[in-house]
Amino acid sequence: MPLGLYISIPFCRTKCSYCNFASDVFGRAVFQNYVDRVCSDLDKARAHQMNAWFDAIADSVYLGGGTPTVLDIEQLEQIFVTIRQDFGLRPDAEITVECAPGTLTTAMIDVLQRSGVNRVSLGVQSFVDIEAASVGRLHKRTNVLDDITRLRAAGISNINIDLIAGLPHQTATSWNLSLQDTIAAGVPHVSVYMLEVDQDSRLGRELIAGGTKYHAHFVPDEDLIADLYETAREQLGAAGISQYEISNFACPGRESKHNLKYWTRQPYLGFGVDAHSMLPSSTDGMDAVRLSTPDSLEQYLAGAQLKPTAINRRAALEETFFLGLRLNRGMDLRTVEAEFGKAAIVEFGEAINQLRADGLIEFHGDVVRLTPTGRLLSNEVFERFISLEPGNKDCDMEKIGT
């Protein structure tokens, strides 16, 4: 089965207040050392040393971050040249680069085109300038629209727009403006995330503390955020951009090939800071091995080794449930039974019946899916499928595939 390749670029022009990823603002002097290290790891592809195996053929490549387009064009070219030297890319490979609006110079678009990039993900978050500025975004609405026009002129029409429901100053009216601009832009893919409140971001910490820094006192309440998400589902769906995963919407045939690998447990390799991999295990009795790199740039550049986590059959079954349920198409229990045995379905029978009684999942024949309420409360659903046994506690849903 072909791989997905993920390359982490943890550099930003500014650190957004809501961001809980392992990215930050660094001096440009470190960029080349980082690119060299990533390319060295691509050359070595050391996964075989971690009781895993893979075929060095890829049908998706994803450069994420951070903001990959803050790199010099020569550095981006170096990464793409190394990928093509070390891995065979299928002719129909999906090649995605995340971009911050306003960073796409003419020279940058040219290098993306030359490198075979055929999909761009724009971190818009909001088309309302005051909302974008309140969390540290440097672009304006006009930058986004200009970027989309120039990308299309260069032949890159497979474009995703990221939006966040729950930004400071956001209202139902302003959210409608962002949705209307998104739909009018005619992009084939949209990702809609509800603002995460946790200790891993400055805004999250301020919200938890009840403070006012980072415009925290202007963040909508949970009920309004849920309403904004539902409004997005309705308006995007009506425009032909249908939901296919909890946070992702696409026109027919434009679903993210790369991200689908995460949710369907296909093999992928990650390179760079805080990158994760999942590969079939070569160890008897194990289903897969997950690999992770450090989330510290300093540790990564110092040569820290990959951290392996063996996935046994029980853990693989749990992953199959909580990842598969993210997809609107749901999970066919007969397919699960064929792979893991009838006892696997019986084992989760009580949890499944309770979730159904709670209105969080529903059945369509043998297929089980999240209900609209279940999507809003998805983490509560997924927790029902996570074992509390020692050895499975390291399975972090938010980290898988990032």
Give the pLDDT confidence of 373-393 residue by residue, as tens digits.
Answer: 999 999 999 999 886 443 333
| Same domain as 382, residue 234 | no
Q: Could you tell me the two tokens for 183?
A: 């739909």
pLDDT at 199: 85
Answer whether residue 304 is part of any domain: no
In the numeric block, the tokens 């990221």 are attached to: 162
Lowest mean pLDDT among 46-60, 174-188, 279-293: 46-60
- For 173, other C-beta atoms within 10 Å of its C-beta total 8
Answer whether residue 335 is part of any domain: yes
Question: Amino acid letter at 389?
Answer: E
Answer whether residue 93 is part of any domain: yes
> The domain that contains 380 carries what CATH number?
1.10.10.920
Give the DSSP letter string of 39-89: HHHHHH-GGGGGTB---SEEEEEEEEES-GGGS-HHHHHHHHHHHHHHSEE
Q: What share of the chain is helix, strand, coil (3-state, %, to 5)?
A: 40, 25, 35
Q: Could you tell me the two tokens for 110?
A: 């040219």
pLDDT above 90 coverage of the chain, percent: 79
- 11, 71 Cβ separation under 8 angstroms: yes
Domain termination residue (choose one: 261, 279, 312): 261
pLDDT at 123: 96
| Same domain as 66, residue 164 | yes
Mean pLDDT over residues 226-237, rounded? 98
pLDDT at 35: 97
| Same domain as 173, residue 52 | yes
pLDDT at 396: 33
Compute the distance between CA of residue 200 and CA of residue 206 in angstroms, rounded to an integer.
11
Answer whether residue 270 is part of any domain: no
Q: How far from 268 is each of 55, 149, 160, 164, 280, CA to CA, in Å?
A: 11, 32, 21, 27, 10
Strands 158-165 and 119-125: parallel
- 219, 207 Cβ separation under 8 angstroms: yes
| Same domain as 244, residue 380 | no
pLDDT at 161: 98
Question: Quick one: DSSP state of residue 269?
Answer: E
- 202, 214 Cβ separation under 8 angstroms: yes
Question: Amino acid letter at 126?
Answer: S
Domain termination residue (choose one: 215, 243, 261): 261
Q: Where does residue 53 fall: left (phi above 0), alpha (psi -120 to 50 degrees), or beta otherwise?
A: beta
pLDDT above 70 coverage of the chain, percent: 95
Q: Name the phi and psi angles at 113, rounded to 5.
A: -65, -45
pLDDT digits (tens, 9 = 90+) for 44-73: 885 555 677 788 999 999 999 889 999 999
| Same domain as 339, residue 249 | no
Residue 305's pLDDT band (boundaries 50, 70, 90)?
confident
Of the two residues 223 and 45, the one the predictor is more confident about is: 223
Residue 318's pLDDT band (boundaries 50, 70, 90)?
very high
pLDDT at 50: 66
pLDDT at 401: 33
Answer whether residue 292 is part of any domain: no
Question: Quick one: DSSP state of residue 11?
Answer: B
Of the two residues 49 and 113, the one the predictor is more confident about is: 113
| Same domain as 69, residue 165 | yes
Strands 57-65 and 88-99: parallel
| Same domain as 343, residue 239 | no
Compute the distance between CA of residue 210 and CA of residue 10 in angstroms, rounded to an integer.
29
pLDDT at 398: 34
Residue 197 has pLDDT above 70, yes or no: yes
- For 53, other C-beta atoms within 10 Å of its C-beta total 13
Give the DSSP letter string of 174-240: HHHHHHHHHHHHT-SEEEEEEPP-STTSHHHHHHHHT--GGGGGGSPPHHHHHHHHHHHHHHHHHTT
> The domain that contains 183 carries what CATH number?
3.20.20.70
Residue 212 has pLDDT above 70, yes or no: yes
Answer whether residue 100 is part of any domain: yes
- The residue among 388, 389, 384, 321 whose CA lies nearest residue 354 is 384
Quote the domain boundaries for residue 175.
Answer: 3-261
| Same domain as 379, residue 255 | no
Q: Could you tell me the two tokens for 44?
A: 């070595």
Lowest mean pLDDT among 17-31, 160-174, 190-204, 233-247: 17-31
Q: Could you tell me the two tokens for 402?
A: 């990032």
Answer whether residue 310 is part of any domain: no
Lowest mean pLDDT among 250-254, 261-265, 342-346: 342-346
pLDDT digits (tens, 9 = 90+) for 27-43: 888 999 999 999 999 99
pLDDT at 393: 33
Answer whether residue 305 is part of any domain: no
Residue 167 has pLDDT above 80, yes or no: yes
| Same domain as 336, residue 243 | no
| Same domain as 245, residue 334 | no
pLDDT at 309: 92
Average pLDDT, the chain: 91
Domain termination residue (choose one: 261, 279, 310): 261
| 350 SS3 class | helix
| Same domain as 125, residue 29 | yes
- 309, 296 Cβ separation under 8 angstroms: no
Report how many domains make up the chain.
Answer: 2
| Same domain as 231, residue 353 | no
HSE toward the beta carbon, residue 92, CA cutoff 13 A = 2
